[in-house]
């Protein structure tokens, strides 16, 4: 293949792109790949999770604008392009029983209808590879689950001229991956590596919950080496200041230990229209050699 490779990462909210696959995207940008983040919602109903900013009246009143500004800063750090699909954040329902989702939110849209916006973006950007979430959303946030649904529809429909005929010239992406960066194998390796060095691990309680959650293990088909971009990943994550405490959980494993023990980001190959051999170390395996 002689044309420039293109990667699209489909995410639910601003900040998801920096916590899931950010080092991979930075690596591919450095390699000359054109990378676009598609952000489904504006994160309007996201809580302010950084304790240092909780209660700030300006942030609470202007959360949509604040999160858009954070997204722009993270985009620049990662070196990617970014597009908003324009849906409204559904929020994360809490309580027993769970409250109904707010009217008009992303998770209540008809998936076939909502997928049209993503189909149009795929046909415009023409990605060879798309990353998204698995059927559980990575975790069961309603917007993450809806992101999975529209991604699957759009991956199948984008190349079909009979579907979404008003959404531009058809384009057939070649591969679809699920982000699987928060996997048990990585968590155990980091946990045990920290303990072996006499360092307290932040993952003990997490692993206990994992053991009792009856959570099925995913197949990790693709490990992308990207340790040299971990600092860029963390810088982009910190740019989402309302969501990320720079002294919090994400940053409790020393960088040198992360790079030594687990220097990759992981994916699950969900669909491929090109021949490839598993396991992979490149999201574009098979695409680079396709005619």
Q: How far apart are CA 134 and CA 152, in angstroms?
A: 10
| CB-CB contact of 84 with 43 (8 Å) | no
Phi, psi of 281 (to 5 degrees): -125, 10
The answer to whether the annotation marks 223 as part of a ligand binding site is no
The answer to whether the annotation marks 191 as part of a ligand binding site is no
Q: What is the 3-state secondary structure (H, E, C) of 19-47?
A: HCCHHHHHHHHHCCCEEEEEEEECCCCCC
Q: How far apart are CA 118 and CA 128, in angstroms?
A: 15
Other CB atoms within 10 A of residue 176 CB: 24
What are the binding residues? Answer: 13, 16, 144
Which residues define the annotated binding site for Zn(2+)?
Answer: 13, 16, 144
């Amino acid at each position: 293949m002689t044309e420039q490779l293109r990667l699209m990462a489909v995410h639910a909210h601003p900040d998801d792109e920096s916590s899931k696959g950010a080092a991979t995207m930075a690596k591919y940008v450095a390699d000359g790949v054109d990378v676009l983040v598609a952000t489904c919602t504006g994160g309007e109903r996201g809580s302010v999770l950084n304790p240092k900013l909780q209660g700030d009246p300006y942030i609470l009143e202007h959360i949509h604008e604040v999160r858009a500004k954070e997204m722009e800063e993270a985009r620049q750090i990662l070196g990617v392009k970014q597009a908003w699909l324009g849906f409204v954040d559904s929020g994360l329902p809490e309580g027993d029983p769970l409250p109904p989702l707010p009217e008009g939110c992303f998770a209540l849209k008809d998936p076939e209808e909502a997928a049209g916006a993503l189909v149009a973006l795929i046909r415009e950007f023409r990605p060879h590879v798309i990353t998204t979430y698995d059927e559980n959303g990575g975790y069961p946030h309603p917007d993450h689950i809806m992101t999975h649904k529209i991604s699957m529809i759009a991956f199948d429909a984008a190349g079909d001229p009979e579907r979404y005929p008003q959404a531009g010239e058809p384009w057939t992406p070649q591969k679809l991956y699920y982000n699987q960066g928060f996997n048990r194998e990585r968590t155990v390796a980091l946990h045990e590596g920290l303990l072996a060095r006499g360092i307290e691990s932040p993952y003990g309680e997490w692993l206990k919950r994992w053991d009792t959650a009856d959570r099925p293990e995913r197949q990790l088909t693709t490990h992308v080496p990207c340790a040299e971009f971990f600092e860029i990943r963390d810088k982009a994550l910190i740019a989402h200041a309302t969501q990320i405490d720079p002294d919090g959980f994400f940053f409790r494993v020393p960088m040198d230990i992360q790079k030594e023990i687990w220097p990759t980001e992981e994916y699950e190959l969900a669909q491929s229209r090109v021949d490839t051999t598993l396991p992979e170390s490149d999201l574009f395996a098979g695409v680079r050699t396709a005619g």
